[in-house]
Amino acid sequence: MPRDLTQEIHNLIERGRDRQLRLAVTGLSRAGKTAFLTSLVNQLRHAGIDARLDLLKPAREGRLLGAQRMSQPDLGIPRFPYDEALASLAGEPPRWPEPTRGISELRLKLRFKTRRARGLLGDTANLTLDLIDYPGEWLLDLPLLAHDFLGWSEAQLAAMGPERQRFAEPWRRAVAAHRPDEVVDETRLAELAGRYADNLRQAREAGFSHLQPGRFLLPGELEGAPVLQFFPLPGIAEADRRQLEALPAESLYKTLARRFRHYQQHVVKPFYREHFRRFDRQIVLVDVLGALNAGPERFEDLASALATLMQSFDYGKRSLLNRLFAPRIDRLAIAATKADHVTPDQHANLVALLESLLAEPLKDLRYADVPVRAFSLAAIRATENRQVESDGQRQPALRGHGLDDAPLLLYPGDVPARLPDAGFWQRQGFTFTAFRPPPADGGALPHIRMDAALDWLLGDKLR
Ligand code: GDP
């Protein structure tokens, strides 16, 4: 029997016995995926030694014995750079790990005592845990499968608010020099596509999240490939469909439409088919505090990006996702990251805000009976809680170090428990300061509620 097949059958059997789990981590850029996965691996590696995992039941019961790294099954996927991440955290001064920019993977084998085990002797079992990290931006492309080029063009241009239009202006001006029936050479096409990608990058740097196509921002191995060289075409409308479709194959319109289809078939679909469909569980990380910091237009934009991103977890029978790929995620977590940026009395509000930000997608998920839970957490806790005296009153505060290593003691502000309205943005500004990571001491990384998230994501597999 070929080796691959033997391995595949072994994998199937293991999965049947609940001994194998594929857990995927996603979120938009800077949501905290790299920090989360680094901490997750670190906590499990230190389980049974010095990790503090009281909210993870098998750990609390003393049944989680530890975790070892294994070689990963998919040789075609980059390894998650765990050692490199730990090395930056252990630097002097400590630095946040370089974020990952594409899909990466790491396999752990967890060893635990089963519930039946009594005392020191008894049954031990293993759980093979595949961890997969991939950019949330890639999920923003799912709705693109429901469009053809014409529909997509119209939708993209209509969705640009005033500020986004400013970033798009140089591209717009360049593309306005061409008619849809014109023959445009490769070099010029690449240049126009480059300008379109620049506009997306600038928008992202300015704090916008809802940007398509997702691979333009995080191309992975497709950097510079012609499949990424298309863009929406201004000035075309559904009413012109007949004329447009009758244009010659080498016209600008037809060329862009062909590339768009190629992107759908050879970039978006394969990700869902080859990766997404095989995930058992998923955590979606959201930098809610970062969006609050960036102001109302960005906050709205994050909400709309998340609504799109969450369509990838809409398992309603008639959803686009189900019709195309029949996925099988049986449990989902959503988490507001970097909770150590606010004082503990604000954590409940942070979860409530995350839930209201995702209210619509959560409704759909619950309706489709996908178990989902919301958390606030800090993968790597960079601050300590303090009390300060102000006007004779004790106030909560945070102590840590800024990214420039200067010591800080501050109260960062209140987190609203609901979606902020216009009055709120006028009344209150936010300044959630960025902190550098804590100095490493060789022990498990300090965290907030990583154990609660782990309990939800894999606790039941360690019985
Ligand atoms: P990714 O792009 O989703 O992989 O995001 P990263 O994991 O690289 O996180 C982006 C930045 O957010 C980091 O460089 C840190 O500055 C910050 N960050 C991430 N997680 C935490 C956390 O748990 N606590 C704090 N204070 N900052 C964090």
**Predicted confidence (pLDDT) per residue in 13-29, tens digit:** 554 455 899 999 999 99
Q: Is the CB of 102 under 6 A from ligand 1?
A: no
User: Measured in angstroms, how far is the CA atom of residue 34 from the centroid of ligand 1?
Assistant: 7
Q: How does residue 427 score in pLDDT terms, banded at 50, 70 and 90?
A: confident
pLDDT at 11 over 60: no
Three-state DSSP state, 359:
helix
Instruction: Tell me the two tokens of residue 342.
Output: 């606010």
pLDDT tens, residue by residue, 269-321: 999 988 998 999 999 999 999 988 888 888 888 998 999 898 888 776 667 77
Torsion sign over Cα 41, 209, 149, 198: negative
The pLDDT assigned to 246 comes to 96
For residue 1, the model assigns a pLDDT of 56
H or E element at residue 390: strand 384-390
> Would the CB of 25 count as within 6 Å of ligand 1?
no
Tokens 């999965």 belong to residue: 15
Predicted TM-score of the model (pTM): 0.91
Check pLDDT > 60 for residue 9: yes
386 lines ligand 1 (CB under 6 A): no
Cα Rg of the chain, angstroms: 24
12: pLDDT confidence band, cut at 50, 70 and 90? Answer: low
- 151 CB contacts (<8 Å, ≥6 apart)? 238
Q: Is the CB of 19 under 6 A from ligand 1?
A: no
- The pLDDT value recorded for residue 325 is 75
DSSP 297-316: HHHHHHHHHHHHHHGGG---
Q: Is the CB of 408 under 6 A from ligand 1?
A: no
If you search the block for the tokens 């001064």, which residue do you land on? 93
Please give the average per-residue pLDDT across 68-78, as a whole number.
Answer: 88
Query: For the residues 346-355, what does the mean pLDDT come to?
Result: 96
Distance from Cα 134 to the centre of ligand 1, integer Å? 15
Distance in Å, CA 380 to ligand 1 centroid: 8
Q: CA angle, corner 406, sides to 345 and 293, nearest 5?
A: 45
Helices 162-175, 186-205: axis angle to 10 degrees equals: 170
CA of 460 from ligand 1 middle (Å) equals 28
Indicate whether residue 401 lines ligand 1 (CB < 6 A): no
Examine the pLDDT at 438 and tell me if it is beyond 80.
yes
Which of 36, 28, 33, 29 is CA-nearest to residue 447?
36
Rounded distance between C-alpha atoms, residue 186 and residue 62, angstroms: 63
Give the other-Cβ count within 10 Å of 328's Cβ. Answer: 13
441 contacts 420 by C-beta, under 8 angstroms: no
Collapsing DSSP to helix, strand or coil, 362 comes out as helix
Q: Which atom belonging to ligand 1 lies closest to the Cα atom of 341?
A: 26
Q: Would you say the CB of residue 126 lies under 6 angstroms from ligand 1?
A: no
In tens, the pLDDT along 179-229 reads 999 999 999 999 999 999 999 999 988 888 889 998 998 887 788 788 889
Domain ranges across the chain: 139-273
Ligand 1 centroid–CA 287 distance in Å is 9
Quote the mean pLDDT of the chain: 89
- Owner of token pair 């009758």: 246
Q: Note the pLDDT of residue 414.
A: 87
Q: What is the maximum alpha-carbon separation in the chain?
A: 78
pLDDT score of 15: 47
Given a cut of 70, whether residue 141 has pLDDT beyond it is yes
Q: What does the block give as tokens for 454?
A: 């782990």
CA nearest ligand 1 atom 22, residue? 338
Are the beta carbons of 64 and 129 closer than 8 angstroms? no
Instruction: Report the separation in Å between the CA atom of 27 and the middle of ligand 1, taken as the mean of its atom positions.
Output: 11
State how far the Cα of 218 lies from the Cα of 93, in Å rounded to an integer.
29
Cβ proximity of 418 and 352 under 8 Å:
yes
Task: For the chain, give percent helix, strand, coil, nearest 5.
Answer: 45, 15, 35
Query: Is 267 a residue whose pLDDT tops 50?
Result: yes
What counts of helices (H) and strands (E) characterise the chain? 18, 10
Of 217, 338, 341, the one to substitute when testing ligand 1's pocket (max ligand atoms within 8 A of C-beta) is 338
Distance 197 CA to ligand 1 centre (A): 25
Distance 32 CA to ligand 1 centre (A): 4
Distance CA 175, CA 361 (A): 36
In this structure, which amino acid lies at residue 446?
A: P
Strands ordered across the beta sheet of 124-135: 64-70, 104-113, 124-135, 20-27, 281-286, 331-336, 372-376
